[in-house]
A and B are shown apart, each in its own frame.
Chain A
Amino acid sequence: MVRRFGQKLKFNVLLILPLEVVINFLLIVPFVLAIYLSLTNWEPVLGPWYQAPIVGPQNYVDILLLPRFQGAIVNTLIIVGAAVSLEFLLGLFLALAFFSWDIRAKSVFTSIILVPMMIIPAISGFTFQTIFFTDGGAFNDVLSLVSGTTVRTDWLHIPATALIAVILADVWQWTPFMFLLLYAGMTALPSDPIRAARVLGASERQIFRRIMLPMLKPIITIALIIRALEAFKIFDVPFIMTAGGPGTTTETISIFLYKFGIEFSRIAYASAGAIFIFVIIVIVTLRASRSLLPKAGE
């Protein structure tokens, strides 16, 4: 029997081997190459990569000391923190409303809510750029209408407001994603504990806080991790809305790496930055997802 199991295992391994080879080749080779390149001073405009001298950790030291890179990290963290929090709160509110209230034509409204998510980020970036224009921008026009005075705020020229504009664009686009995950999670919750709590006289607030929220925790964690990872890579929207400006005050890590790696052909330098960020993301993600893993004894 053991022999038969061994043969079956071999056969299974044989079946999966070609795919594993391809995937690992596509995954591991570029990754190893990126690590190697990050230790050289290769720039394509200086010659082939295999002739580039090895400079050790110099690129890592240089990039970590570069104020522009530090600024890009801070900007990205602000966007991730603010945008994902807002998206979560709005998504949760919408999901709860759809779950709790008897809304007619629910499927139609659900589809409408999901529309922003389906729009190409570059298009939404351009749309929000025109919305936040000083002269003739819809946002200023609406504020003027509401306040009764002419509002001409330079949203995209002031670092703080430019960052807010980028965050709002991201919130508009990705709140539906949070809504979708949370709403799906709510509809999949077992109804018995909720009904039992109602029978025992629990208020809706208590039901939400004491029963639904704990049961939704894995979904919430997954939603936050996915959105945070995605938001960490944000590129299209700020690139089109502000091009990282004014100055470099809305430059995100992705814009920084694109500029240095692709536009300036400083691939080794950008690789060092990318690997540093990769390590940070892995650590944060592993830590955040720990709560999803079954604890010892469970």
Chain B
Amino acid sequence: MVNSDDRNEDDDEERLSILKRRITRREALSKVATTATVVGVAVVAGAGGVLAGQSLAPTKIETKTVTETATVAPTPLGATPAERAVNAVKQLRASGKIPEGTKMRWLLVAFAKNNILPTEGSERIGVQKAINMRKKWEDLTGIPLEIDTLNDLELYGKGIAEGITKAGTWDLMSQRIDFLYDFIGADAIIPLGAFEKKYQPELNTGPCPYYPVFEQSLRDPSGELWGFALCGDWFNYYNRRDIVTDPKIQDAFEKQFAYPLPVEGPALWSQVRDMAEFMDGYTGPQQALKDKANPPLRGGYFFRDTWFSNIEFYIRFYELGGLIFDKNKNVTIDSKAARTAIEDMKALVPFQSRDALTSSWPTMFPDYGGKKVFQTISWASLSQFQGNSPAAKDGGFGVYHIPGYVNPANGKLIRVTVLFDQTSYVVAKWGKTTQKVPELPYLLGQWLADPEIYTESLANPGSISDHARTCQAYDLRMIRTFTAVWPPNPDIEPGRRGAMEAFDITIPLSVQPLRLQGLKEIQDLFGTQMNAYFTDIQDLDTTVKNMQKGFETVVDRFGRDKQFERYQWIVNNFPAPLKELHGIK
């Protein structure tokens, strides 16, 4: 077991060399992307945009590709997004556009509080000293910030209320961008495209891009920008590495199921089920707890509450080739893919922690850390929160990419994951300062989204956010912050630690969330229907039919054409395996 204290300079040197190597590769990729963009733009211009439409099969909805933003060059305002933001504020002040005494109010998601306002003098296990990001902004720009914090589950209501009441409480808000169209519909936020052109933030560009799916989620089908990324949760698969590496266990498993125990993580959902069955009730030596009774191991903890059952459903549904709409705008939830996905989810129920059906991650985290469950699906912070748990201390964190299904048509394995609940910064339309100087909250957003500022705030002491930028997997501060307590995972990429390797694989395979108007209702519909099936209240046929019918009702209430167009934005930005599966170029 390696922990942060065991770290030596050689390790750091090794990681630094990897860091340098990566950035060089990224720079090269960036140049290629820029060249490709120039060529692409020329081709599109020459062909009158016809080719652009054709390339976005299966439908011909015109979209603005994200690579159009990949031509960031230093401007007179500064070389980096943060410099440009700060200098722009100074310029606005000098020109008298910012009235004397102007201040900004910011609704900050509570989990990010310690990233922005850490306890003074605190330090995170040798990573870096606390940096008060509010003070830093105020010192740089002279614009005071008032910060209110709120639990992320309550942000939606506040955001919509701003639109209804036009109260002007906040200028910048943390919001889940999944509900983007609700905020636009409620007239609560402003588009940022004009400012984007003027001040050039770095989104999917430069040496430290957002992972692309997050950047796509910040835009609507026309390419308009509506926010900046803060924290996106994708899901990885975890299991007890200390148990699966036991040769006796491996032999017993192979004897029972006639194939080797997938030591480096299951590739198929059927393997997850088999492992759940095999491990359920296990009482071997790995279950020993100091000074306590050994807990009985359950085969898994797979959420069956509304929120998480939605996530797992989408992952399986997409891997099985499911789509929400067909080309003719018909809702296609009542499909073989949906039935298989839900049926397979239920197959795990007998072997998993019973309370997973009625509880959620606050119960799962300690259950996994306390050696009560063998496997789970979770976001990055599982290991961060459970870093000192019995499971972590005994090497019980194996972190892998989400399992998948084999496509029967060509025998190819498809593994994807869903990016969910992407907390972002949006500019509130009715904020007092927004109404006077809309650039100001935008510039704060751009400053916060700057690669260096962003990494700095996320790696701050007390941070509990998950990562939103691929570069952070190469940043020593982030590696130390998020992986200090995790065991090596040498089969993915030797030299770096923990879940970062799994994240590297997962990031390009993320699917955008189902960003449609009325998403809250859709989530509840799917969650309650599946829960009723998992608890034997209704059969599979009724479940899927109710999901289909309820979804159609919600979709039609907001206009099927619009909802279809929004969904196509997701489809057109599918990760490579799904594009290949559906023949999307």
Interface residues of A (CB under 8 A from B): 43-49, 129, 133-135, 137, 152, 154, 156-159, 241-249, 259, 262-266
Contact = CB atoms under 8 A, between A and B. Distances in A.
B412 interface: no
Nearest to A260: B521
Interface stretch (B98-106, B460-468, B526-534): B526-534
Interface in B14-50: none
Contact of B354 (A45, A152, A242): A152
Interface stretch (B182-190, B201-209, B416-424): B182-190
Contacts of B181: 45
- Kindly name the residue among A244, A249, A264, A266 whose own CB sees the greatest number of chain B CB atoms within 10 A: A264
A134 B357 CA distance: 10
Contact of A133 (B163, B183, B185, B355): B355
Contacts of B186: 44-45, 47, 265
A152 B281 CA distance: 14
A152 B156 CA distance: 38
Given A135-B355, A152-B354, A247 B558 contact: no
A248 B185 CA distance: 29
Contact of A134 (B354, B517, B524, B528): B354
Nearest to A159: B537
A243 B308 CA distance: 14
A47 B186 CA distance: 5
B354 A157 contact: yes
B535 interface: yes
Contacts, number: 95
Interface of B: 156-157, 160, 163-164, 181-183, 185-187, 298, 305-306, 353-355, 357-359, 372, 517-518, 520-521, 524, 528-529, 531-532, 534-535, 537-538, 557-558
Contact of A46 (B185, B298, B357, B521): B185
A243 B298 contact: no
A262 B157 contact: yes
A265 B535 contact: no
B532 A247 contact: yes
Contacts of A129: 358-359
B150 to A, nearest CB: 15
A134 to B, nearest CB: 4
B357 A157 contact: yes
User: Which 4 interchain pairs have the tightest Cβ spacing?
Assistant: A247-B532, A134-B354, A246-B535, A45-B185
A212 to B, nearest CB: 44
Contacts of A243: 305-306, 358
A30 B495 CA distance: 64
A245 B164 contact: no
**Which of A48, A129, A241, A245 has the most chain B CB within a 10 Å cutoff?**
A245
B358 A264 contact: no
B354 A246 contact: no
Given A245-B535, A259-B524, A49 B306 contact: no
Given A133-B355, A264-B518, A245 B528 contact: yes
Contacts of A247: 528-529, 531-532, 535, 537-538
23 contacts: A44-B164, A44-B185, A45-B182, A45-B186, A47-B185, A48-B187, A129-B358, A129-B359, A133-B355, A137-B355, A157-B354, A159-B535, A245-B535, A246-B537, A247-B537, A248-B532, A249-B537, A263-B156, A263-B521, A264-B520, A264-B524, A265-B160, A265-B182
Contacts of B372: 135
A259 B354 CA distance: 26
Among A45, A157, A265, the most chain B Cβ lie within 10 Å of the Cβ of A45
A37 B529 CA distance: 29
Given A44-B164, A129-B359, A134-B354, A244 B528 contact: yes
B298 A135 contact: yes
Given A45-B160, A45-B517, A262-B157, 15 more contacts: A45-B182, A48-B164, A48-B187, A156-B358, A157-B354, A157-B357, A243-B306, A244-B528, A245-B528, A245-B532, A246-B358, A246-B532, A248-B528, A263-B520, A265-B182
